[in-house]
Structure 1
Amino acid sequence: MTMGTALFLAFLVVQRLSELLIARRNTARLLARGAREVGAGHYPVMVALHTAWVLALILFGWSQPLHMGWLAVYAVLQVFRVWILGTLGSRWTTRIIVIDEPLVARGPFRFIPHPNYTLVVAEIIVAPLVLGLTWVAVVFTLLNAAMLYHRIGVEDGALRGKGRHATDAARV
């Protein structure tokens, strides 16, 4: 394993684990403010999907060299991630949380209906390409598309129900 590959994979793992901690904290705070979770039944499947994606990157990518062009694209995606998380602040979570507050309409939400989901789609494609794992990008893009089809339907249904609003949640 090259040092670059090890650092890339370590970054990815640490990032995902730290986001789970942030999401757990934010979810608890939102629920304490009277919010409720919608669509919890699919959450374990989503976690399994994202865990399998990270494990596939580690298992099949540990001996691969980095493709610097794709690494640059991945770095740009991380800037987009910081913008999304900074915009949502304490409302960012990996779950679909419904709360009686207006939707966030600033930052990337002015331009894209579901920026966090857009980011995740891009990352599921780009991170494997950093390691030259085109097949991992294809397989997990298809699996993630099925998950997002269901998840966005659940979230949009929550947005329409009783005038309540949901967070834009998708990162694991």
Structure 2
Amino acid sequence: MTAYLLLIALTALERLAELRLARRNAAWSRARGGVEHGPGHYPVMVLLHTGLLLGCVLEPLVAARPFVPALGWPMLALALAAQGLRWWCIATLGPRWNTRVIVVPGLPLVRTGPYRWLAHPNYLAVLAEGLALPLVHTAWLTATAFTLLNLALLAVRLRCENTALAAT
């Protein structure tokens, strides 16, 4: 369990690093005339992702969920692969990457890196990680709840992003 708690703590630190980078990138975008779209869903997203990390810690402790190697190791590999995809997206977008929907008018869509194959590869990473990270330690309630709530949030987010990108 200690190793799993360390994994969750490292994931939380990674999220904090993402938020810091997102603030810097938001300033870059706004300095170039970037406009934020759909800010109303952002607090829900933050709450949901915070809930994921809390659920990952609490469910295994409260419900005495065991580590099941046949499930845990593949889920760890999937969670790590999702992190790799997330950071590939961040590196590809450079200062245009953000946790908010901020579009700089006149900039073309990015069609390199993982964006060659998918319009929104970061959301694939979020879906994979949201399912896999809790299942590393058999937190199936957390995995299920996050996945279902995240699918509803992503429907809103994708509609917002696609509308914002189409308007540029």
TM-score by length of 1: 0.88
| 2:36 is aligned with 1:37 | yes
- Number of the residue aligned with 1:8: 7
Question: What is the RMSD computed on CA atoms of the aligned residues?
Answer: 1.5
- Number of the residue aligned with 2:77: 72
How far is the alpha carbon of 1:25 from its aligned partner?
Answer: 0.9
Correspondent of 1:148 among 137, 150, 154: 154
Correspondent of 1:123 among 123, 129, 133: 129
- Number of the residue aligned with 2:143: 137
Partner Cα distance (1:145, 1:45) in 2: 13
Aligned identity (percent) is 45
AA paired with 2:99? T
Unaligned runs of 5+ in 1: 165-172
Partner Cα distance (1:18, 1:97) in 2: 19
Structure 2 vs 1, CA of residues 61 and 89 (structure 1 numbering), >3 Å: closer, same or farther? farther
Partner Cα distance (1:37, 1:103) in 2: 16
The farther-off stretch of 90-99 and 57-66 is 57-66
Contact 2:82 2:125 in 1 (8 A): yes
TM-score by length of 2: 0.90
Contact 2:82 2:126 in 1 (8 A): no
Q: Deviations over 1:126-166 (max 9, x none)?
A: 101111111211111110011010111111111222xx1xx
Runs of 4+ in 1 over 6 A off after TM superposition: none
Map residues 95-134 of structure 1 onto 2, 5 A cutoff.
95-100=100-105, 101-134=107-140
